[in-house]
Amino acid sequence: MTKIIVALGDITHQNTEAIVNSANPSLLGGGGVDGAIHAAAGPELLEECRKLGGCKTGEAKITNGHKLPADYIIHTVGPVYGMTSGHDGELLTACYRSCLDLAKDHLIRSIAFPSISTGAYGYPIAKAAPIAIEAVLRWVKDHPDAFSEIRFLLHSTRDYDVYAKLLGET
C-alpha cells in the first residue's frame, strides 16, 4: 500500500529516494524549484543534465541526486499555462504519470513532488492541485504496491492548505 502525504517545506531537504524537478525543456537549470535543486545538488548535476538532450513537456528524465539527500532527481517539464492549445490538463497529468512510471522502472520506492507548473509557468494552484492529486491517485490504483510513499511537497502554506483540503476530501 502507498502512503500519500502532503507536507510543507523545501524539496531539496526531502529524504525520499527521489525528488521531482519542475524543469524547462533544456534541462539546463532555471529559477524557482529548478534553481534551488541545481544549487543544492551542485555543478555535477548540470554536467549530467547536458547529456540528456532536453525533455519534452509531459515527459521525464532521471539523474543522480548528487549532493542532495535524495538518491535520484526526476526532471519533468510542465505545461506553460494557457499556451498548449487546450491541453494544459492532460500535459500536467502526463508529468505526474511520467515521473511515477520512470521512478517505478528504477525501483524507487519513495518520491516527493513539487507543485508542477504553478510558479513561473502560471498554472493556478486551485486548478493544478486537483489534477495532480487525481493523476497520482489513478496511477496508484493501477500500481498499488509500487511505492511506499508519494509526497506532495508544497513550498507555501497557501498551497499546502489547498492540497490538504483536497486530500482530506478524497
Residue 22's alpha-carbon distances to 75, 141, 143, 150, 167, in angstroms, are 6, 24, 23, 16, 22
Of 31 and 43, the one with the shorter C-beta distance to ligand AR6 is 31
Of 38 and 103, the one with the shorter C-beta distance to ligand AR6 is 38
Report how far residue 53's alpha carbon sits from residue 152's, in angstroms, rounded to the nearest whole number: 28
Binding mask 57-96 vs ligand AR6 (x if CB under 6 A, - otherwise)? ---------------------x------------------
Which of 2, 114, 131, 139 lies at the binding interface for ligand AR6 (CB under 6 A)? 114
Which of 121, 147, 160, 163 lies at the binding interface for ligand AR6 (CB under 6 A)? 121
| Cβ(131)–Cβ(92) below 8 Å | yes
Of 91 and 146, the one with the shorter C-beta distance to ligand AR6 is 91
Of 12 and 110, the one with the shorter C-beta distance to ligand AR6 is 12
Report how far residue 76's alpha carbon sits from residue 74's, in angstroms, rounded to the nearest whole number: 7
Binding mask 19-38 vs ligand AR6 (x if CB under 6 A, - otherwise)? ---xxx-----xxxxx-x--
Which of 6, 118, 146, 151 lies at the binding interface for ligand AR6 (CB under 6 A)? 118
* Residue whose entry in the numeric block shows the C-alpha cell 548535476: 45
Main-chain dihedrals φ then ψ at residue 77, nearest 5 degrees: -125, 115
Which of 102, 116, 129, 132 lies at the binding interface for ligand AR6 (CB under 6 A)? 116
Output helix, strand, coil percentages for the chain, rounded to the nearest 5. Answer: 40, 20, 40
